[in-house]
Amino acid sequence: MNSQTGLERLRGSLADAPMTAGQIVVVVLMVLIAALDGYDVQAMSFVAPVVSKAWAIDKATLGMLLGASLFGMAGGAIALSPFADIYGRRPTVLTGLLLMTTGSMMSALSGTTWELAVSRVVTGLGIGVMVSLTTSIAAEFSSKRRRGLAVASTSVGVALGGVVGGLVTAGILKRHDWHWVFGIGSVAGVMLLLAATRLPESPAFLIERRPRNALQRLNRVLLQIGQQPLTELPQQAQTQRGSYRALFSGGMARTTVRLAVVFLLVTTATYYLISWLPQLVADAGFPSSTASVVAATSSAVGIAAGLIFGSLAARIGPVKLTGTAIIGFGISLAALGFVPAALPPLLIAASACGFFLSAATAVFYASLTESFPPLMRVSGIGFVMGFGRLLSGVGPFFAGAMFAAGFGRSGVSLVFAALAVVAGLLMLAPLLVRRPSHELREAGESSAVR
């Protein structure tokens, strides 16, 4: 029994067994929080056409507002995510949800551009923490058989939040002003209460970190999720503890850098699409409610893509699927820039972007959870996502500056599409470059993105 690590024992016992109700509750809670992330991330883009008219702001200032939450997300992912590997998943989740609730309420009460920008940064801090945690917690509480689907479901939850946000915004803007869109985002307070009552600490964290009374706490968690308690703590895996120094030591450095650069390029293109899509549709002559529906449709198409690609990852391989989907996203983004300013072609191009983007995200996130050992997992995911968002927040601002300088939809879209294509090729590089046979064999056996 002690020849296996504690995590291997727990995962082995769950490999062929159906997930218990307690496990399902935790995964569903993570999907709901991910949906809230998706709503809050896109909330500013949904109201951008209305805010720009109401406050008479130019495209450069609008770009600053669209990028504010992304800078906050970078700070949350880089500065706050490591606390989940030090103090635990549960307290870090509660902190992230508290920040999201506070930021949404501040946004709803904002009366100036700077007040709105600061409130979006606060909201972004919370989102940055939660994006790193939802995938990790979903993986740690799911059975081995369902782990890939559970993690992919969190990325689908983000797309679902975009769908709900677009439809809700379309309805709100017909009857109320834009402040209500952010007011609804304060439903994060409800999620905070749910997490406080229904989310236990991660068994993986308790086994590897071994805080005070770890066995008693672990058994309480196991009973809560419907598993048998243990008489002693399982053997620890001999893995490095979470720290950024560990992420760049030994063989982890190449994995960390590669994932971070790919995510940086993809996220920069992604947030150009998410932040500016409603405004692009509005600039084509359509009302703000129609622009929100187009954005919601793009996210809705992505739900099916995320589930399909997530289920295929184990069969085809995450590298092939992720790289191909990212390139498809880049081609679709270029098409969005060149299609006529009519609703059907704009809707088709936006839907293609949503399909390939969600497909790439689902497989990439699922691979991230397997790329880092347990006590480096949230730190690793947080660094990759934080590094990507640290500079990707410049994307919406840079796009606004390009629009203000006279660049059209085609020119701006083409620039960001090129970033996505480069990211896809970089992702496929291990398969495109000839390597020694033993390295190819190791890459094929690993479920991590190299």
Q: How do residues 139-184 score in pLDDT, each as one tens digit?
A: 888 877 777 677 777 877 887 887 787 788 878 888 888 888 888 8
Q: Which residues contact 28 (CB under 8 A, 6 or more apart)?
A: none
Q: What is the mean pLDDT of residues 107-130?
A: 92
pLDDT digits (tens, 9 = 90+) for 336-352: 999 998 999 999 999 99
DSSP 279-315: HHHHHTT--HHHHHHHHHHHHHHHHHHHHHHHHHHHH
What is the domain count for the chain? Answer: 1
Contact present, 226 and 21 (Cβ < 8 Å): yes
Q: Identify whether the C-beta of residue 218 lies closer than 8 Å to the C-beta of residue 203.
A: yes
* 315-318 own/partner pairs: CB under 8 Å, 24+ apart: 317/444, 318/363, 318/364, 318/366, 318/367, 318/447, 318/448, 318/449
**pLDDT tens digits for range 235-283:** 665 555 545 677 777 677 887 888 889 988 998 898 888 888 888 888 8
DSSP class of residue 17? S
**Domain-embedded: residue 371:** yes
Give the Cα separation of 205 and 95 in Å (integer): 17
> Cα 32 to the chain's mean position, in Å?
13
- Whether 130 and 83 have beta carbons less than 8 Å apart is answered as no
Task: Look at the pTM and tell me if it is higher than 0.75.
Answer: no
Longest dimension (CA), the chain: 69
Q: Is residue 450 part of a domain?
A: no
The answer to whether 41 and 35 have CB atoms below 8 angstroms apart is no
Task: Let me know how many helices (H) and strands (E) the chain has, helices first.
Answer: 20, 0
For residue 23, is pLDDT > 70? yes
Q: Residue 183: what pLDDT?
A: 86
Query: Which pLDDT value is given to residue 165?
Result: 79
Tell me how many degrees the CA angle 69-335-427 measures, rounded to the nearest 5: 65
- Residue 96 placed within a domain: yes
Please report, for residues 90, 204, 387, the alpha-carbon distance to residue 377 in angstroms, rounded to integers and kept in the order given: 15, 10, 15
CATH number of the domain to which 200 belongs: 1.20.1250.20
In angstroms, the first-to-last Cα distance of the chain is: 32
* Separation of alpha carbons 16 and 14, rounded Å: 6
Residue 243 DSSP one-character state: -
Q: Which residue has the higher pLDDT, 24 or 448?
A: 24
Range of the domain at 37: 6-445
Question: DSSP state, 272?
Answer: H
Backbone conformation region of residue 213, classed left if phi is above 0, alpha if psi is from -120 to 50, else beta: left
Burial class for 334, CB neighbours closer than 10 Å (0-12, 13-18, 19+): buried
Q: Is residue 414 part of a domain?
A: yes
The reply to whether 1 falls in a domain is no
Is pLDDT at 440 greater than 70 in this prediction? no
